[in-house]
């Protein structure tokens, strides 16, 4: 997967490149709007991450040029300006998603993966399986080690999200928005409690442990990382 990052802020650009590279992406970094514009139109990318505020050619012009050239490459905006008009403008011009600075890197990563997945047609399984955990999607039932586990509706949705995106760190804000449709930060540790309860049901009596806390970032469901 090849990504283009257009970011004029030196430190941010460098860390984005490092972080995304270490997460398994090939990353091109453009430091000016002009370079970004050129690369976006001449190279093939799976996704473009654009800073809106660039000194020469701003992010909006780049996405406009991209859409005029009939390119469907997904575009994710990074913006420090949190105004409704800005968001609407970006989305109207053909951006696929936006993130407001300061953002958590885990959040960016999760959004990037969501956008990349969007292109491929999702395979509709009736069943999801990780290690010995099996999710029966139509009946909304879970079982582990052939033992049926009673989950509430929301617990099942949460588990399904974790399983579908196994191996990815899911930030609390993403979990809140995907499972409960709460699109804002809350002061509470609601997500932690919910995860703790889910864990008690599916991990406490079984091995290996599946749900992992990634400190300061979020939660992840994974088999291999036996931490």
Partner 1 sequence: MTRRPASLALRLTVSIGAVITLVLLSFGWIIERSIDTHFIQQDVDELNALVQAVAQSLSEPLPGATTDDLKRRLAGAISGHHNAQFRLSDSSGTVIYATITRGLDGFARLIPSADAINIDTVKMWQDKGQTYRGAAVQLMPTGVLDDKPLTLAVATDIGFHLHYLESFRTYLQLITLVACLIAILATWFAVYQGHAPLRRISAEIRRIKSDRLSIRLAPNTVPVELTELAVSFNDMLDRIEEGFQRLANFSADIAHELRTPITNLRTQTEVVLSQPRDAEQYQEILYSNLEEYERMAKMVGDMLFLAQADNNQLQAEQIEVNVRTEVQMLFDYFEAWAEERSVSLLCQGPALCVQGDRLMIRRALSNLLSNAIRYTPVGQAVTVTLVAHSDATVIIRVENPGLTINPEHLPKLFDRFYRADPSRQRTGDGAGLGLAIVKSIIDAHGGTITAKSAAEKMIFEIQLPRVSIDE
Rg (CA), the chain: 19
Is residue 140 involved in binding partner 1 (CB under 8 A)?
Answer: no
Q: Are 107 and 183 in contact (CB under 8 A)?
A: no
- Interface pattern 65-84 for partner 1 (x via CB under 8 A): -----------------xxx
Query: Residue 95 Cβ, how far from partner 1 at the closest point, in Å?
Result: 19
Q: Which of residues 91-110 bind partner 1 (CB under 8 A)?
A: 100, 102, 104
Among residues 49 and 195, whose Cβ is nearest to partner 1? 195
User: Does residue 176 have a cis peptide bond before it, meaning omega lies within 30 degrees of 0?
Assistant: no
Q: Are 30 and 5 in contact (CB under 8 A)?
A: yes
Among residues 122 and 216, whose Cβ is nearest to partner 1? 216
Q: Are 89 and 62 in contact (CB under 8 A)?
A: no
Is residue 189 involved in binding partner 1 (CB under 8 A)?
Answer: yes
Query: Residue 40 Cβ, how far from partner 1 at the closest point, in Å?
Result: 29
Is residue 193 involved in binding partner 1 (CB under 8 A)?
Answer: yes
Q: State how far the alpha carbon of 108 is from the alpha carbons of 18, 97, 119, in Å.
A: 13, 10, 18
CA 150 – CA 159 distance, rounded (Å) = 12
Q: Using the rule CB under 8 A, which residue among 187, 204, 224, 226 binds partner 1?
A: 187
Q: State how far the alpha carbon of 182 is from the alpha carbons of 41, 129, 174, in Å.
A: 37, 27, 9
Interface with partner 1 by CB under 8 A: which residues?
A: 82-84, 100, 102, 104, 154, 176, 180-190, 193-194, 197, 215-217
């Amino acid at each position: 997967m090849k990504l283009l990052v257009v970011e004029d802020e030196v430190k941010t650009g460098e860390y984005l490149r490092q972080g995304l590279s270490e997460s398994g992406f090939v990353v091109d970094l453009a430091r000016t709007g002009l370079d970004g514009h050129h690369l976006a139109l001449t190279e093939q990318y799976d996704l473009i991450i654009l800073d809106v505020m660039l000194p020469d050619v701003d992010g909006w012009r780049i996405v406009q040029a991209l859409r005029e050239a009939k390119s469907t490459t997904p575009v994710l905006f990074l913006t420090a300006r949190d105004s409704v008009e800005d968001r609407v403008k970006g989305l109207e011009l053909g951006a696929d998603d936006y993130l407001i600075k300061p953002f958590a890197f885990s959040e960016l990563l999760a959004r990037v993966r969501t956008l990349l997945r969007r292109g491929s047609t999702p395979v509709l399984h009736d069943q999801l399986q990780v290690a010995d955990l099996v999710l029966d999607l139509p009946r909304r039932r879970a079982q582990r080690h052939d033992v049926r586990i009673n989950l509430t509706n929301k617990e099942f949705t949460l588990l399904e999200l974790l399983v579908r995106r196994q191996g990815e760190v899911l930030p609390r804000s993403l979990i809140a928005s995907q499972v409960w449709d709460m699109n804002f930060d809350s002061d509470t540790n609601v997500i932690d409690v919910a995860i703790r309860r889910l864990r008690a049901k599916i991990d406490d009596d079984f091995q290996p442990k599946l749900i992992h806390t990634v400190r300061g970032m979020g939660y992840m469901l994974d088999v291999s990382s036996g931490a």
